Amino acid sequence: MSNLISQANAPFEGYVTVSADAPMGMLTLRGDLSSKPFITALKKSVSTDLPSACQITHDEKMSVAWMSPDELLILTPYDQVAGLQAKLQKALGKKHFLLADVSDARVSFTVSGDKVREVIAKLAPVDLAPDHFAPGMFRRTRFGQISAAFWLLSETEARVICFRSVAEFMFNQLSAAARPGSEVDLWS
C-alpha cells in the first residue's frame, strides 16, 4: 500500500471536524446499466440495491454509488476488494463491461459536525438546503478547483472523495472552510 499523504494529517478540529479516512477499497464498473441481463448478473454479487441516478446505496458490506449513466463506484473495506472483484468478474462473465480496482486512485475524507452542510456549500456549487440534498444522494461536482464527489451519511456527517494527487489540497481547503469564526449559520 502506498504511503498516503492525507494519512499524515491529524484531523482538523474546526467548527466541524475534517479527517482523512483509512484506505477504502474502490471498484469502478462500467457497462450498460440499462440492460436487464447485466443488472441481473450484477445483483448476484452486489448485496445492496443498485442506486438510481445520483444516488448511493449502503449495507454493512459495501456502498454502491452512481457515477454516470454507465458507471458505478463500488466501495468496500480495503482488504475485501480483490475478492469482490473476482466475484463480479465471474458473475458478469462474457458481457461487455469494464471492472477496475481503483482503490489507490482516490482518497476519502469524513466531515462531521452540526454544520457539515454549510462547510460543503462553501466549496461546491450545489444546493445543500435540507429539502434539496438528503442523505442517500450522491453528487459529483467540484470543490474549489478540483473534481470531487460527496454524500451525506447523516445530517451531521458527510464523506468527500477526490483524486489522491489533490488530497492535500482538499484537506487544506476543507479545513479552511471549517475554520472557527467563519460560521455562516445558513441552516441552523
Q: Is the Cβ of residue 12 or residue 97 nearer to another protein in the bound state?
A: 97
Q: Is the Cβ of residue 33 or residue 41 nearer to another protein in the bound state?
A: 33
180 lies in the site for another protein, by CB under 8 A: no
Give the binding range for another protein (CB under 8 A) out of 8-16, 30-38, 61-69, 173-181.
61-69
User: Measuring CA to CA, which residue among 162, 113, 123, 178 is closest to residue 5?
Assistant: 162
Compute the C-alpha angle 8/11/14, nearest 5°: 145
3-state secondary structure of 86: helix
The torsion angle over the Cα atoms of residues 92, 93, 95 and 100, rounded to 10 degrees, is 60
53 lies in the site for another protein, by CB under 8 A: yes
Q: Which positions ≥6 away from 125 have C-beta within 8 Å?
A: 141, 142
Q: Which of 5, 39, 67, 153 binds another protein (CB under 8 A)?
A: 67
Cα atoms found within 13 Å of the Cα of residue 78, Cβ hemisphere only: 12
Distance from C-alpha of 97 to C-alpha of 95, rounded to nearest angstrom:
6
Q: Under rule CB under 8 A, which residues in 96-155 are in contact with another protein?
A: 125, 127, 139-142, 147
CA separation (Å) from 131 to 72, 104, 116, 135, 155? 25, 34, 15, 11, 12
- Least separation in angstroms between residue 73's CB and another protein is 12
Give the binding range for another protein (CB under 8 A) out of 64-72, 88-96, 166-174, 179-187.
64-72
Please name the helix (run of DSSP H) or strand (run of DSSP E) that holds residue 125, with its range, or none: none
- Least separation in angstroms between residue 35's CB and another protein is 17
- Least separation in angstroms between residue 143's CB and another protein is 9
30 lies in the site for another protein, by CB under 8 A: no
- Least separation in angstroms between residue 179's CB and another protein is 23
Q: Is the Cβ of residue 41 or residue 123 nearer to another protein in the bound state?
A: 123
* Site residues, another protein (CB under 8 A): 53-54, 67-69, 125, 127, 139-142, 147
